[in-house]
């Protein structure tokens, strides 16, 4: 793989590691998934609107109660040598802030929210889903802009169990953040074209 704009050469490999990923220029649109450098193009404005609404609600809740930290993409989440992701939104509880390093989050966040897009849906639903569960993510939300749905999964013994699915109307509630809930119709607001 050649990054001509930045004059960095990354050799073709069967399996890439974090050391290879770290050679990419800051902001390069890649995630390290299953030892492969996967390009993740910029999300749509609809995707970003959903992300912003969710993040504002989550961050406001967390800040008001001093519960920890909320980050949004792009922030590197290092889980193992061949798995380094940039989830859309993450929450790390106050007692686990030690996993936050200057360049990355090194370890599993308590809550991860991924918003599906055509280029990342397979990874969010399959590859990353399994790795997040295996590494102890306590709660995983999958947000589907097309269906206007949110699925909530709870981590249990290295696997995820779906505990809620809401489509088009209704509320989803967090397990990790007791009292945090989101009204679906407040999240999926289409922009005027």
- Write out pLDDT tens, residues 77-129: 999 998 889 999 999 999 999 999 999 999 999 999 999 887 666 666 788 88
Task: Please report the pLDDT score of residue 12 as a whole number.
Answer: 80
| Residues 6 or more apart in contact with residue 100 via CB below 8 angstroms | 69, 92
pLDDT at 15 over 80: yes
Question: Can you give the residue range of the structural domain that contains 88?
Answer: 42-187
**SS3 labels along 97-114:** HHHECCCCEECCCCEEEE
Task: Please report the pLDDT score of residue 38 as a whole number.
Answer: 78
- Does 161 reside within a domain? yes
* H or E element at residue 58: helix 45-64
CA dihedral 160, 17, 51, 6 (to 10 degrees): -170
- Does 11 reside within a domain? no
3-state helix, strand, coil split of the chain in percent (to 5) is 25, 35, 40
Task: Please report the pLDDT score of residue 122 as a whole number.
Answer: 60
- Does 157 reside within a domain? yes
Q: How many residues does the chain have?
A: 193
* Cα–Cα nearest to 123, from 21, 26, 32, 48: 32
Task: Please report the pLDDT score of residue 31 as a whole number.
Answer: 80
- Does 143 reside within a domain? yes
- Measured over the CA atoms of residue 156, residue 115, residue 35 and residue 31, the dihedral's sign is negative
**The domain spanning residue 173 has which CATH number?**
3.90.1570.10
- Does 34 reside within a domain? no
The answer to whether 113 touches 120, Cβ cutoff 8 Å, is no
**Least reliable range by pLDDT among 36-45, 58-67, 115-124:** 115-124
- Does 19 reside within a domain? no
Residue 82, classed as helix, strand or coil, is: coil
| Residues 6 or more apart in contact with residue 21 via CB below 8 angstroms | 30, 32, 37, 84
pLDDT tier for residue 193 given thresholds of 50, 70 and 90: low
Tally of domains within the chain: 1
pTM: 0.86
pLDDT for 132-176, tens place per residue? 999 999 999 999 999 999 999 999 999 999 999 999 999 999 999
User: Read out DSSP for 128-162?
Assistant: HHHHHHHTT-SEEEEEETTTTEEEEEEEETTEEEE
- Does 150 reside within a domain? yes
Is the model more confident about 69 or about 36? 69
- Does 125 reside within a domain? yes
pLDDT at 189 over 90: no
């Amino acid at each position: 793989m050649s990054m001509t704009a930045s004059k960095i050469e990354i050799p073709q490999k069967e399996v890439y590691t974090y050391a290879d990923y770290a050679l990419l220029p800051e902001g390069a649109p890649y995630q390290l998934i299953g030892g492969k450098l996967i390009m993740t193009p910029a999300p749509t404005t609809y995707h970003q609107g959903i992300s912003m609404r969710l993040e504002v609600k989550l961050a406001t809740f967390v800040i008001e109660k001093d519960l920890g930290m909320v980050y949004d993409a792009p922030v590197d989440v290092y889980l193992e040598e061949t798995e380094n992701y940039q989830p859309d939104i993450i929450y790390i509880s106050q007692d686990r802030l030690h996993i936050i390093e200057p360049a990355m989050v090194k370890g599993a966040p308590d809550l991860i929210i991924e918003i599906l897009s055509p280029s990342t849906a397979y990874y969010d639903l399959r590859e990353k889903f399994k790795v997040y569960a295996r590494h102890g993510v306590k709660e995983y939300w999958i947000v589907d802009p097309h269906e206007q749905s949110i699925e909530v999964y709870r981590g249990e013994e290295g696997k995820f169990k779906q505990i809620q699915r809401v489509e088009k109307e209704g509320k989803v509630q967090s397990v990790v953040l007791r009292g945090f809930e989101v009204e679906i119709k407040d999240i999926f607001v289409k922009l005027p074209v």
